[in-house]
Structure formats: C-alpha cells, structure tokens
Chain A
Amino acid sequence: MSKKRGAKPKGLPLFGRGKEQTQFLEALKLYEGKSYKKSIKILDGVLKKDSHFVDALALKGLDLLSTGEKTEASSLIKNALSKIEGTTASPICCHVLGIYMRTSKNYAESAKWFHASLNNGSNNMQIYRDLASLESQIGDFKGALVSRKKYWESFPGYRSNWTSLAIAQDMNGEHQQAVNTLTQFEKLVEGKIGDSELYEHNECLLYKNDILYRAAGDNKGKLVNAMSNLKAIEPSVYDKYDLLELKASIHMKMGELKEASKVYRMLIKRNPDNFTYYRLLEISLGIHGDNNLRKTLYEKLQKFYPRSEPPKFMPLTFTENVDELETKLEEYVRPQLARGVPATFCNVKPLYRNRRSIVAPLLEKIVSNYFKELNPTNDPLPYIWTCYYLAQHYLFMKDFQKSQDFIDKAIKHTPTLVELYIFKGRVLKHLGLLDEAAETLERGRKLDLQDRFINTKTVKYYLRAKNIEKAVEIASLFTKNDESVNGVKDLHQVEAAWFIIEQAEAYYKLYRDSERKLKEYLNEMSTKKSAEKEENNKNGTDETGENFIRVLKNYEWQVNKYCGLSLKRFYAISKIYQQFEDDQMDFHSYCMRKGTPRAYVDMLKWGKTIYTQPIYVRAMKGAFKIYNKLYNDSKNLNENEQIENLVEKVMQEHSKKSKKENSVLNKRKEEEKKTVIAYPESDDKDPYGIDLVKSNSPMDAFMEQFYENYNRQAKEQERDYEFEFDYQYSNGKLALCLSALSKYTKYGHNSGLIGAMTIVLLLATKEDTKFDTIAKKVALKGCESIIEKFPVHERDNSDFDWLDFFQKNFDYHNLHALLFLHQYKVVESSRTKELILNELANKEPLIQNTVLQYEI
C-alpha cells in the first residue's frame, strides 16, 4: 500500500476518535513494515477503548492473516463487516478489507472493496492498478478497462501502462482504440528504444498486428492495411514464426494463394516437423482434392526434408491404389522396425483406425513377412521390435492370444527391455487380469529403478488393481518425503493430478467393495443370529457376538474411510484446478511489465477453459457418482434402516465390547492417518474426508465444489449431456433434464441412449414423483417432440412394457443405454441385467469385469 491516502473517511464521524485515529495510522505503518505483532498490540489498545472502530478491526484481521492465524483473522473481519453498512467505511478501511480479501483469494469481494475505497474518497491511484488485476482475474473486463485507463492517465510514462490499456480495450472488442493506443506509444518512443527494450517492442508490434488481423475479418481494405503494417514492422520483429504465420493467413484471406504457399514453404523450412504447415500448404496450392498432385508434392518435399515425418506419412493417408499403398507402407514401417523405434505401431495407428479395412490387412502382411525374414540372432533388435509391433497389432484386432504370444516371444528373447513389460501388462489388463498386469509392470520397473516412466505406469496399474498400499510405496520412491511416511503429500504439493485421480477411483472401487462385503456379512449374520442365540444362552458366553462387533465395526469403518478418501481426492483435483485459476493472478501485472501481451491474451483465453479440462471433468463425474449415491441412499432409507437397526441392536447388547472396539479402532485410525494425509496437518482437520461425506446437502456441496465452475465455462457442444441429465435428475430439475436430453439429441450420436433417456424422463412426469408439477408438464411435452410417436399416453399404464418398447424401437445392443435404463430402474433390475449380460458377452474381459463389479 502506498502512503498517499489523505482523504478523510466519509460518513463516519471522527469525533472523539482523534487519538485512536493517530494510533491506528501508526499501526498501519507497522503493518506496512511487516511488524504485524507490534501493529496488533497497538490495535488491541485502540479496540479496548473503542470496540466498534471498524478500521482497527479490519487492520487487526489483516495483521492476523499475515501471521497465518486465518481463523481468528476471519472472525475479526466478520465482526468488522457486520458493523459496516454496505460499503460505507473509510477509504483506508475499505482498502484494508480489499487487501484482506485478495490475500484470502476472494477476488470478487476484494475488487468490491478496492472500488469502495476509491468511491469513498481515496486518491491513491495505485489502487487502480491492483483493481485492474482483480477485475481481469474475475473476468470483469469492462471494469478493468476503466481501471487501466485511470491508472494510465496518472502514469503515462511507462510502456506497461499503454500495453495494459490496449489489452483492456482489445478484451472489450475496442480493436480500433487498442490499435490507436499502441500506435500512439510507438510514435512516442520512435528512435528512442534501447537494446534491452527491443524484445518487448517486437512483442507489442506483433500484438498490434494481431489485433489488426483479427479486426479485419474478411474486409479486403483492412487486410491490406494489416499486411502493409506487417511489412513495415518486419525488420523489428524477432518472432519470425508468428510473423510468417500472420503473413500467410492474410494472403490466404485475400485469395493470394501463390504468395501464401511461398510463406508456408518458408515455415516448413523452419520447422519441417509441423503437420499443420503441410496441410495449409496443400490448401494454398489448391490441391487438397487431387491425390496425384499431392503425391508429386510429397515426393518433392521428401527430398527437401528426408529426416521429417510429414512428407513420408501424409501419402499414407490418401494413396488409394492398393499396390502403391502397400509399397509406401512398407517403406514407412520397415526402416522404423529395423531401427528399433518403439512407437512404430503408434505412428500408423491412426491409419488402422481411419482406413482399417485396407490398412490393417496390408500391415499385417507386410510386418509378418518382414518378421519371417528376420533371424533372432542375426537381427536381434529388429526381431524384438517386430514382435512388439505384431503384439500391438493383434491387440488392436482383439486377438489377445496372438498378442500375448508375440510379446512373450519378445520377452523371452530380450528380457531386459522395459517397454515389453509395459505392453504385456496392457494385454493382461485387457484380459481383466489386473493383479497380474501390475505384477508384470513391477518386473519391468525393477530393471531400471531410475526410470520414472515405468514407475508411474506401475503405480497406475497397482491403483487399477486396487492395491493402493503398493502403489503409494512405489510412487514414493520419486517424491520428496521429508517428514512424511510416504509421498502422498508431495504428490498433492506438485499437483500430480494423474496420481490423485487414479487414487480417487481406486478408493471408490474399494468403497463399493467394502460396502458389498458389509451387506453380505450382515445378511449372513442376521440369518445365523437367531439360531446362535439359543446356543449361546446354553453356554453362557457370547463369543460370536463379540467377534461380530469387531468385524462389523471394521467393515463399517472401511466403508466410511474409502468413501471419504475417494471424495477427498476428487476434491483435491478441484482444489488443484482452482489453484490453476488463481495462479493467473500475478500475471495480470507481470506480463505488462515483462512485455508479453500476446502470451497474456492466450492465458486469459486458457483461463476460461480450466474447468472443462479432462481431469477436472473426470473428477467432477467421479465425485458426482459418490454424491449421487449418498443422496439416493439417504432417500432409500428402507434397506439402510434395516441394517442400521440390526447394528444398533447388536451394539446395545454388547455396549461394553463395542466401546472397547471403538478405542481399538480409533487408535488404528490415528496410526493410519499418517499414510493418507494429503496436506500439512495444521491445514487439514479431516484427512479421511469423513466430514465431506457427512454433508447434509450433498447436491449443494457438489454444486459448489464442482458443477458451478464447470457450468460457468463449459461450451454447449463440449458438454456431456448424459451426465447433465443425471445431475439435473438428482437435483430435482426436470425441465433441465429435458434440456439436457434435447441437447443430447442435437450433439450426441447414440440413438439408444436418446430412447433410454426419453423413457426415463417420461416416467419421471408421473403424478407420484417428487418433481415440480409445472416442470413435469414441460417435460411431458418435450418427450412428445423429441421422439415422434412416442407413446406418452402409456405413461400411467403400469402394464406397459417399456423395456420391450425400447428393444423394439431402439438399438438395444447398446450397453450404454442398457446401463442407463438399469440405473434408473425403469423395469425390474433382473430384466435389464439379463440384457446387459448378453451384451457383455461380446465385450473384452476388462469391460465385463468393470461393469459387473461397479455398474450393476
């Protein structure tokens, strides 16, 4: 904070507070000098006399936050806020609150208080700069423009302020103004740029041209203008890639294809390994549809760039003549196998997928023939890499036996190659042999303990096999374990999302397993119970009862623990992504000073996609499964109540034993805590995630922690509407279910699922369901319009066979749709289950197992 803050607080009388005010200012100075303790001491004195002095309360809160006492700080701030009406406080107080909120990463609130400070009379212009960062962080670009402008007006002597202003204008679509701002500055510094500023200057010149290009659209005149600007700045531009790419784009848009093609040739010369340039070159040459000319083109390019992949590979994607294709494939694949390129198969895999019917048999023939030529002793390396290729080929063709034969052959020949074990593990995984797969990876890992790639793979395989202990032990070989018993904390620290999400999913499976075991055990016990009771009465002892308590408590704890830990890990992913979002904060000012506006604009774009990234979505869906289950369990009291009653009864009968078991268990919990805790102990009061599970309103918690952020950023076409349907259904929002369904019909391509969703939606509109009446009407109408002649009139006919209807009208060989119907219990579970089992018969063992264990 700057020292310039003279304005008197509005609205608050200074009467009789003269001395306190002086002391407060002293405390403020101490805060600024980082003497928080001393500052607090003075403030305590002030507050003793006047406990309503909000400035002092707020500052003390900030002091405490700075010393790390978050809880106390927060209660002081709450206290201060309760005494402020709206934002009517002194500018200093508002500023203090703004800083407090910013430090607590509550950026929207922080911006509010910085604003208030200025509105209430602060003339500290620095606030505008901070405010602009905050506004950019929360995506308020309108506000950011105002703030940037104010700050620029006060300090026009810095390039960074001009750049900031231009970016803010650009973000608001004021392209012309942005260009003007940048041009004005260029004129100001013409001929006065020192060596150290040349790079920044080059970035700003390109940024301006980029705006010109974007703003031009298809307008010829504007494109000409952008091109002449580009030519003018060329000598000052260091980033030749971007310069050339812009140039080519403008040529293309102007229809100057020949010129564009020349520029793409220059780009290819700079980087002959970028496929994009080759594709654009084809377009600029106007030969995209002419395979003969393409052939000529790539033959030439291959002479220019013999060490690059694209000229060799591209012809494989379009050559139609089978003999010619065979020759080309052979020329492509054989040298790679001879050289021992592990990724040979990966390189041609897209051809298998896109041109399967021609390419797969050709490659099988080519590689098998090559294999026959090879002698394991004369050509040892080509021999194993060809085995490796064929193993991958047959796995792709789902011939597991042949795949396994080839990989075993390779391992027998050369048992020291890590890749071979990785692949063998993968085959075993597809066969559903998860434990064996993990053991195989482990054999590979032991060959080279220093290789983290195989370490990571092994960890992943152990997690999939639900062997968390072993997985953590292995992962911990590469972590900084300091005072921890393992690397879990460090893996959180370095944001190792891959590990955390896999662990979350492993915990989820263990949760479901232990829940099943618990139920089985209880059923077994309740049938045994009466018979045993008589027995026990005769003997006068009750050992079985005691044993029962112990086993029961253990199972119960396992269910809670695994559920909690799974949720806890999914939360950790959400936290990491929130951190990613927050990580941008510093760059709103940093990039201005550093002079990297283009990268900064990229960052802002990226910032709007954080919560739609793969891992976040995966964590969200994982968490939803748990929340949804908890929610359904809480409604589905019948079954659970029975269990609970039984447990309750037994516990009462053996209350002494029960207490003893509790203390044993507590001890174990305390002991085990060390192995699961993911954050520093002081920050984590709930290492097992038990509190998360206990949430009274699971759907709200899910909304707040996962869905809200996703919903804010996800674009229509990238959403998963099946998930949206599930979520809105649980959330009780039938109209939104309908909207998910209609979006799915627009973007999805699974007719079976559309049928299944419509049935579920229709049945949800029945009179006796929990949903809102108006929403039901809307949904009912929707069902009629989504599928023609949908038998909505059968809704209340309890004899109508919906499964039969589904089978007759939709693609019922669709496992996904069947699982959906099963999950919503549209008909008796046994019937959907039977169909699912039929479908599963054609699936590979891995999918069979997963579905059998965790889906039905």
Chain B
Amino acid sequence: MPITIRRATVEDMVGMQNANLHNLPENYVLKYYMYHVLSWPEASFVATTTDISDSVGDELTIADENGNETKLDPNYVRQGEKLVGYVLAKMNDDPDQQNEAPNGHITSLSVMRTYRRMGIAEKLMRQALFALREVYKAEYVSLHVRQSNRAALHLYRDTLEFEVLSVEKSYYQDGEDAYAMKKVLDLEELKPSNYAHAKGAERIEDDFESDLLDATV
C-alpha cells in the first residue's frame, strides 16, 4: 500500500533505528530513541507501508514457502508494516538554556531513498511541527542540515520555510559544515489541513456535518 503517516510509538523504535542506520551517517543507540519517545511521546512520527504481506521477492530465505518470511526483515515493525521514514523530534531540555522560551529540535529525519518524491518527508515534518507547537507549546524549532544535502535543504528552506541562522563550521564528524536553521511556530499556520490542497488550488474543507454518502450534493 502507499504510505501511512502516524505518530511514532515505542514499538517503532527498532524500526526507526534501523532506517536511520540505513540512510544516515549520524547514528544512535536504541536508548536514545527511547529517550525521545518516552520524554516527548507526541513529537515523533513515522511513515509505514500498511499492507498485510508486503515483502515477497526481497528475501533470500527459502522460508517464503512457509509464509512467514516477512518476520525476518528488520524493516518490519509489525507484519506487513514496513517503516520507510521517520522524524525524531524533541523539546530543548538543555539545563543551560532554561530561560529560553520553550523550543523544539528535530534530531533526525529520514526517508528511504526508494520512497522519495512522494512528499513523505514534508508530511512527517508538518505533523511534527504541529505537535511541537500544539502539545509542547514550542515557540520555535531548530535543526541542522548538511551543506551538501540538496534535498533536505530544499525541503526546509523552500517548502517548510525555515530560515538559515548561520553556518556551523565542521559541525559533523566528517568535517562537513552545517546550516543551523530555525522556524517560528504559529499554531494556525501549522494546521495540517492548510496543506491538504496544492498551493493556490481551491480549498474545499470538511465541515464534519455534510453528508459524505450523498452523491448528489
């Protein structure tokens, strides 16, 4: 199936860690994911496939005869639910910055390469930003992005309208510079329904009252 976006749970952590190890150079032990999900349970989101038997053909085992080979793939959170992307978010809990207004931080965002160009990263981010604001009252959110990461830069700067604060020299282990980026969060503006339609298109919204089953209206 195409992709479901939903909130990350403790059950997703191993899958998130696995996706991270597949896609990104910055990796963390599982406990770091636990720390996120157990401190800010509403802040992180995942993208998963949703079909029951979505794995035929990709596994080497001869167990396919047995019908249970899906279980052996580390990408699978549950049977038929393959994790293809996640955003790991937190609130700034640095004791040295206690006087700052509440603010969030995007620790890590990743979408499997084969699932790109579907807007998954944008959808994950929109949910996370909305949650940081709505649940945790974050006034702004910050993140770092590799200077050479064209796709991420485009997403943050152009699509999500983050501003570049500064360039942090040799931020990454391998010496690459990072853009430090920030976005001020406004609850009304962040509502996911604002982005349900293409930009500039006519916005027809559900009022929750109209009859969904009446074809004549």
Asked if B180 is an interface residue, CB under 8 A from chain A, the answer is no
**A497 to B52 alpha-carbon distance, docked (Å):** 24
Interchain CA distance A713-B66 in the complex, whole Å:
22
Say yes or no: A419 contacts B113, CB within 8 Å. Answer: yes
A347 x B1 contact (CB < 8 A)? yes
Residue B99 interfacial (CB < 8 Å): no
Task: Say if the beta carbon of A764 comes within 8 Å of chain B.
Answer: no
Most buried by A among B6, B22, B41: B41
Report whether A846 and B53 are in contact in the complex, using a CB–CB cutoff of 8 Å: no
When each residue 165-193 of chain B gets 1 if its CB lies under 8 Å from chain A and 0 otherwise, what string results? 00000000100000000000000000011
> What residues of A have a CB within 8 angstroms of the CB of B50 in the complex?
275
**What is the minimal beta-carbon distance from A201 to any residue of chain B, in angstroms?**
13
A287-B213, A347-B2, A594-B39 known; A239 and B193 CB under 8 Å? no
Distance in angstroms between the alpha carbons of A814 and B58 in the assembled complex: 21
Q: List 15 A-B contacts (CB under 8 A).
A: A269-B193, A269-B196, A285-B212, A293-B213, A296-B213, A299-B215, A309-B2, A353-B51, A353-B53, A450-B148, A453-B22, A497-B74, A596-B41, A615-B74, A617-B71
Given A297-B213, A307-B196, 4 additional A-B pairs, CB 8 A: A309-B2, A346-B115, A353-B56, A615-B74
Question: B21 to A494, Cβ gap below 8 A?
Answer: yes
* CB nearest to B204 among chain A residues: A303
- A498/B212 in contact, CB under 8 A: no
A350–chain B nearest beta-carbon distance, Å: 4
- Residues on the B chain within 8 Å of A464, using CB: 60
Most central of B11, B24, B52, B113 by chain A CB within 10 Å: B113
Q: Which residues of B contact A480 (CB under 8 A)?
A: 173
CB distance from B132 to the nearest CB of A (A): 11
Chain A: which residue is nearest B41 at the CB level?
A599
Interface string of A248-285 (1 = CB under 8 A from B): 00000000000001100110111111111000000001
A305-B2 in contact (CB<8A): no
Say yes or no for B160: interface residue by CB 8 A criterion. Answer: no
Given known A-B contacts A287-B213, A602-B11, A418 and B113 have beta carbons under 8 A apart: yes
> CB-nearest residue of chain B relative to A422?
B114
A372 within 8 A of B: no
Query: Given A274-B4, A603-B34, are A749 and B67 also a contact pair (CB < 8 Å)?
Result: yes
Contact present for B114 and A614 (CB under 8 Å):
no
A346 vs chain B, min Cβ distance (A): 7
**Interfacial residues of chain B within 10-51, with CB under 8 A of chain A in the complex:** 10-11, 13-14, 17-18, 21-25, 27-31, 34, 37-39, 41-42, 49-51
Considering the complex, give the chain A residue whose CB is closest to the CB of B22: A456
A565 in the interface (beta carbon within 8 A)? no
What is the CA–CA distance of A580 and B10 in the complex, to the nearest angstrom?
A: 12
Q: Are A613 and B14 in contact (CB under 8 A)?
A: yes
CA distance A770 to B70 in the complex (A): 36
Q: A273-B4, A350-B51, A430-B57 are in contact. Are A454 and B113 (CB under 8 A)?
A: yes
Contacts of A303 in B (CB 8 A): 204
Nearest Cβ in chain A — how far from B164, in angstroms? 20
- CA of A606 to CA of B14, assembled, Å: 11
Report the 4 A-B pairs with minimum CB-CB distance, sorted nearest first.
Answer: A599-B41, A350-B51, A273-B5, A309-B2
Name the distance in Å between A678's Cβ and chain B's nearest Cβ: 15
Most buried by B among A349, A816, A846: A349
A340 interface contact, C-beta 8 A: yes
Given contacts A240-B134, A495-B29, contact A272 B10 (CB under 8 A): no
Interface size on B (CB < 8 Å)? 82
Contact segment of A13-21, A169-177, A583-591, A700-708: A583-591
Chain B residues with a Cβ under 8 A of chain A? 1-7, 9-11, 13-14, 17-18, 21-25, 27-31, 34, 37-39, 41-42, 49-54, 56-58, 60, 62, 65-68, 71-74, 76, 112-119, 123, 127, 134-137, 148, 173, 192-193, 195-198, 201, 204-206, 208-209, 212-215
Decide if A343 touches B17 in the complex (CB within 8 Å).
no
Residue of A nearest to B13 (CB): A606
Please tell me if the beta carbons of B38 and A265 are within 8 angstroms of each other in the complex: no
- Is A297 a contact partner of B212 (Cβ separation < 8 A)? yes
Q: Which of A221-229, A642-650, A847-855 contacts B (4 or more CB under 8 A)?
A: A847-855
In contact, B21 and A305 (Cβ under 8 angstroms)? no
Is A306 within 8 A of B118, CB to CB? Answer: no
Q: Is the CB of B27 within 8 A of A453?
A: no
A301 to B67, CA, bound (A): 35
Question: Does A300 touch B at the CB level, under 8 Å?
Answer: yes
Across the two chains, which residue of chain B brings its CB closest to A613?
B14
Residues in chain A near residue B114, CB distance under 8 A: 342-343, 346, 419, 422, 453
**Of residues 327 to 373 in A, which have CB atoms within 8 Å of B's CB atoms?**
339-343, 346-347, 349-350, 353
Q: How far is the CB of B203 from chain A (nearest CB, A)?
A: 9
Within the complex, what minimum Cβ distance (angstroms) separates A97 from chain B? 26
Do the beta carbons of B27 and A496 come within 8 Å of each other?
A: yes
- B9 contact set on A, CB distance < 8 A: 602
CB-defined contacts of A750 to chain B, threshold 8 Å? 65-66
Q: Closest B-chain residue to A396, C-beta based?
A: B57
Known A271-B127, A342-B115, A451-B113: A587·B62 in contact at CB below 8 Å: no
> In A287-329, which residues have CB < 8 Å from any B CB?
287, 293, 296-297, 299-301, 303-310, 313
Complex CA distance for A499 and B27, rounded to whole angstroms: 14
Which residues of chain B are within 8 angstroms of A395 by Cβ–Cβ distance?
A: 57
A452 and B7 contacting across the interface, CB-CB below 8 Å: no
Which chain B residue lies CB-closest to A610?
B14
Chain B residue nearest to A854 (CB atoms) is B62
CB of B166, distance to nearest CB on chain A (Å): 23
Residue contact B53 to A498, C-beta cutoff 8 Å = no
**Are A452 and B25 in contact, with the CB atoms below 8 A?**
yes
Select one of A308, A603, A614, A851 contacting B71, CB under 8 A: A614
The answer to the question of A241 belonging to the interface, with a C-beta cut-off of 8 Å to chain B, is yes
Closest B residue, CB atoms, query A261: B212
| A211 CB to nearest B CB, Å | 17
State whether A847 and B10 are in contact (beta carbons under 8 Å apart), knowing that A269-B206, A422-B114, A614-B76 are contacts in the complex: no
B73, closest chain A residue (CB): A614
Considering the chains assembled together, what is the distance between the CA atoms of A343 and B117 in angstroms?
9
Say how far B172's CB is from chain A's closest CB, in angstroms: 11
Partner of A270, one of B39, B193, B212: B193
A513 in the interface (beta carbon within 8 A):
no
Residues of B within 8 A of A605 (CB): 10
Q: How far is the CA of A268 from the CA of B205 in the complex (A)?
A: 11
Residues of chain A lying within 8 A (CB to CB) of residue B192: 269-272
- Using CB atoms, name the residue of chain B closest to A498: B74
Partner of A307, one of B29, B31, B41, B195: B195
